[in-house]
Amino acid sequence: MFKNEQNPGMELGLYTLGDHLLPKDNEKQMTEYQRMKDMVEMANLAEETGLDIFGVGESHQAHFVASSPQTILAKIAGVTNKIKLISTSTVLSTLDPVRVYEDFSTLDLLSDGRAEIVAGRGSRYGAYQLFGYDLNDYDELFEEKFELLLQLNGEQPTTWNGKFRPALKNAEIYPKPLNGELPIWRAVGQHFASAIQAGKMGVPMHLAALYGASSIFEKRVTAYRNAAKESGHDPEKLPIAVATMMYIDKDSQTAFKNYYPYLNNTFKQVRGVDFPKDHYKQGNNIKNAIMVGSPQQIVEKILYQYELFGHQRFIVQLDHGNIPHKKVVEMMEMFANKVAPAVRETTKQKR
């Protein structure tokens, strides 16, 4: 189900969160309409350049336009043919798992079996406030709804009873996915316990590894695999995806000089803080998770993480911080044409 059929070696792709930030300096802010158009163009280009995956994340607050990833992915399904379409991630805690399953089963049929769900709690809390959920139920909400989503994927008719949703009795969900079930990943971010829980449940892990030492994330990977083994699952059969942000330029000096203002712009507008410059400087080190540099540096960083994690999938966001679309396209082409072939060749040999 998670085999890379188009390209041997690691699966590589892009994702977007639909960032719609205020511009820095004298740059122009695009309209929401144009932002949507650019996202679809990115997906088209990702497929044309041979990438394997395109993802759309979910947000329900200022500075983002992707409140309905399923709708955006359905549009993309209509203008692409091969690329896998994933959510990155679906804020399952504030949604009805039945409706989520219906939406993605529909997307799966429309896309000839290319849909996947990455389910998470959400790192921002706009959806909880908007839909009237209590943040005190943050963990309990997700665990209950994720278990229901997995049950819907593996057992129909479904009988189920929980705290946050009306009970189901012999419920059938329509339509069905093309191949009978959907690939469902668990998003893991800052919560170490979430990696352990993913392992216990025997589900694929979608790990956010944005910044800091890559060894930090290795500990989560190890905990995930240990928990899986202890719970009777075969870790070798459980794929791991790594998601991060990236900035590529012709040489490392240019990349490091030009990226910080965009990265900082994201942090200031979304989190209300500056990105620490001392942390940013550590991005020069191959062992640091910040994906910034020349194409060769990016290759080295990805392969260093591969030695640590042994992951099967790597996806990046290039369109953050209000980076001009022209530059995003330029980076996409470098990623697809210079980074991807080298990474695939090395990881193919080690599979």
Could you give the CA distance from residue 272 to residue 263 in angstroms, rounded to a whole number? 13
Could you give the CA distance from residue 108 to residue 182 in angstroms, rounded to a whole number? 8
Q: Is the distance from CB of 149 to CB of 101 less than 8 angstroms?
A: yes
**pLDDT (tens digit, 9 = 90+) per residue, 228-237?**
999 999 999 9
Q: Using pLDDT thresholds of 50, 70 and 90, give the confidence band for residue 202.
A: very high
Q: Using pLDDT thresholds of 50, 70 and 90, give the confidence band for residue 5.
A: low
Q: Write the DSSP symbol of residue 277.
A: H
Give the SS3 label for residue 119. strand
The overall average pLDDT reported for the chain is: 93
**pLDDT (tens digit, 9 = 90+) per residue, 142-154?**
999 999 999 999 9
Token pair 């429309």: residue:
110
Q: What is the pLDDT of residue 132?
A: 84
Q: Using pLDDT thresholds of 50, 70 and 90, give the confidence band for residue 1.
A: very low
The H or E element spanning position 186 is strand 184-188
Q: What is the pLDDT of residue 2?
A: 53
Could you give the CA distance from residue 262 to residue 260 in angstroms, rounded to a whole number? 5
Q: Write the DSSP symbol of residue 93.
A: G
Instruction: Report the DSSP pairing between strands 291-293 and 313-317.
Output: unpaired
Token pair 């794929």: residue:
239
C-alpha separations of 70 from 88, 103, 138, 259, 338 in Å: 11, 7, 23, 30, 31
**pLDDT (tens digit, 9 = 90+) per residue, 117-128?**
999 987 667 788
Give mean pLDDT, residues 215-242. 96
Helix 295-309 and helix 214-230: axis angle, to 10°? 30
Q: Using pLDDT thresholds of 50, 70 and 90, give the confidence band for residue 28.
A: confident
215 pLDDT higher than 90: yes
Report which of 57, 72, 311, 88 is spatially closest to residue 186, judged by C-alpha positions: 88
pTM: 0.94
Could you give the CA distance from residue 181 to residue 178 in angstroms, rounded to a whole number? 7
Q: Using pLDDT thresholds of 50, 70 and 90, give the confidence band for residue 133.
A: confident
Q: Is the distance from CB of 175 to CB of 156 less than 8 angstroms?
A: no
Token pair 């639909």: residue:
18
Q: Using pLDDT thresholds of 50, 70 and 90, give the confidence band for residue 350.
A: low
Burial of 324 (0-12, 13-18, 19+ CB in 10 A): middle
| Domains defined along the chain, listed by start | 11-349 (3.20.20.30)
